[in-house]
Amino acid sequence: MAEVSERPHQSARPSDAILSRCVVLIAIGCFLFSVASIFAGFHHSIFDFHAFRQSQTAITAEYLARGGPFFRYETPVFGPPWSIPFEFPLYQKIVALLAQHLHTRLDETGRAVSIAFFYLSFFPLMSILRRLGYSRVQSLAVLSLVAVSPLYIFVSRLFMIESTALFLSIMYVDQTLALIHGRTQRRYGYMLSAGIFGILAGLVKVTTFAPYLILGCALLAWRIWKLHKQRILLVPSAAAAVVSCVVLPVLCTSLWTRFADAQKVKNPSGVFFTSRNLMSFNFGTLAERLDPANYTRLMHAVAGQIGSLPLLILLALVYGTVVRRWNYAALAGIALYIITPMIFFNLHVLHTYYPYSSTIFLIVAAGLLIADMLALPGRKAWIGFVFLAAIVAACVDRYRMDFYPIQRIDAPGRPAAAAIIDRTTRPNDVIVITGLDWSSELPYQSHRRAIMDSSGVAYHFPHNLGPIERTIRNQHADTIPEMVVCDDARGSDRAKALLQLLGIPPSATLHADNCNIYPRSVK
């Protein structure tokens, strides 16, 4: 693939030494602000933001640290056999191993690993920018915007897999570009590394990897077409590149999905969370795509990603006026930024953190426009610097308004209820919880396996208990020492039916954190 590759045209460097120093100073300031902000509230709980998802990742890491199986890893919220795998647990295993060997608390370890993967992403991103022909100063301007992005600062500190998947995906693109533009004698090494990173990215989080796979396919197709047009295409080399960079990541991701689904169907409730049954939830519906309110919501989210949407529009207009040429890399970034939520529409509308996978495309696109203006001759180059400073300021302001107030508060979760559960049950006991959907928050905080009464599953069984009844019978009701009823489920007919099935007295209750706790026997 790389026999006749050419280095891309080297963009002109910023023409003024003072301008270059100013860009470097802004970059240093952005990175210092990023690090200081990302560690704010480092020792707080994981219940501050999307606690449902954070605790699901954390409880998986906890049971891996306890010595649980790796591939059939436990997420103990639906009863035996306890395994309902979604993503490949690479991040969770790393966290578990570090917590075990360093004797650190799991919450802080998860945060540290997530932060580390975010900052590691800057290395392949710098490599990509250099491969595109941008100077170090220009590349620093782009990286500055990534560092100061409010969304990246905030989500990168969460106990979640997002930054791991992002790092692996960017590495995949970097190695694919290296295959196209790298040294001939190293092409098989680039194929191998691109394949490995692509496989891992797809396994860890396919919804993150999807746009990067699209980009990788486009790069390979462009290169193959170019070589074919020049009549110098080597078919075996091109076929090997396609197999390594496209076929193997897709195949391995598909095999993992099939394996994960096979594990889920072993659980009476887990069958509702197979990839087939979650298809409409993941991809959204036509009705959702036709609702203007959803697009308004997506547009409002841009400010939290890169500071200000109007400022980006102004940047594009000024770029067209001053530079007067197309930046195809920036256009590709904008296209991928738009395509990603259009594929996984419902996920991006519902979850604030989901644009983590695609925001990098928008930021890099804006950064490349600024980088081009920094290379303009004379005083025109300072236009790029003004936009760089303005977007940085907008990002800092948006972070301080939207995200820092969440970080500075140590969300308690349900500590009193967790303490009662810990006091009235043994470490290996199983409890039943209703009223909290299938969130892992309380099971994780109380360090107990749980049979959660998922509202989504219960919705399909309005006149009976549904799959949870079978799960309780499989566990043997008399071995379950306690039931917890929280929030709106308190006093409900469903809660009463569950207590009756368990044979637990409905009157001997303890109360804490908006939950009623029913022990089989009061200690």
DSSP string over 220-248: HHHHHHHHHHTT---HHHHHHHHIIIIIH
Residue showing tokens 């608390």: 105
Whether residue 460 has pLDDT greater than 90:
no
CB atoms within 10 A of CB 99: 22
pLDDT of 270-286, one tens digit each?
999 999 999 999 999 99
Could you tell me the two tokens for 372?
A: 């081009």
pLDDT of 112-137, one tens digit each?
999 999 999 999 999 999 999 999 99
DSSP string for 39-71: TTTTTS-S-SSSHHHHHHHHHHHHHHHTT--ST
* Residue 506 · residue 496 · CB < 8 Å: yes
* Residue 96 · residue 68 · CB < 8 Å: no
Band the pLDDT of 183: cuts 50, 70, 90: low
Residue showing tokens 């594990």: 263
Band the pLDDT of 232: cuts 50, 70, 90: confident
Contacts of 101 (CB under 8 A, 6+ apart): none
Pairing of strands 510-512, 482-486: unpaired
Q: Tell me, what's the pLDDT at 335?
A: 96
Q: Tell me, what's the pLDDT at 11?
A: 52
Beta-sheet strand order (sheet of 482-486): 449-453, 430-434, 482-486, 515-519, 510-512
Strand partners, 511: 516
Contacts of 95 (CB under 8 A, 6+ apart): 61, 65, 106, 109, 110, 113, 159
Q: How far apart are CA 455 and CA 438, in angstroms?
A: 8
* Residue 389 · residue 381 · CB < 8 Å: no
- Average pLDDT, stretch 180-197? 86
Whether residue 4 has pLDDT greater than 50:
no
Whether residue 425 has pLDDT greater than 70:
yes
* Residue 249 · residue 198 · CB < 8 Å: yes
Q: Tell me, what's the pLDDT at 521?
A: 77
184, amino acid identity = T
Band the pLDDT of 233: cuts 50, 70, 90: confident
Q: Tell me, what's the pLDDT at 135?
A: 94
Q: Tell me, what's the pLDDT at 463?
A: 84
Q: How far apart are CA 408 and CA 395, in angstroms?
A: 18
State how far the alpha carbon of 167 is from the alpha carbons of 125, 201, 269, 362, 474, in Å. 9, 8, 33, 17, 41
Q: What is the pTM of this model?
A: 0.93
pLDDT of 10-19, one tens digit each?
455 565 889 9
* Residue 355 · residue 305 · CB < 8 Å: yes
Could you tell me the two tokens for 399?
A: 């972070």
Q: Tell me, what's the pLDDT at 523?
A: 53
DSSP alpha helices (H): ranges in 307-446? 309-322, 328-343, 345-350, 359-374, 381-398, 404-407, 415-424, 441-446
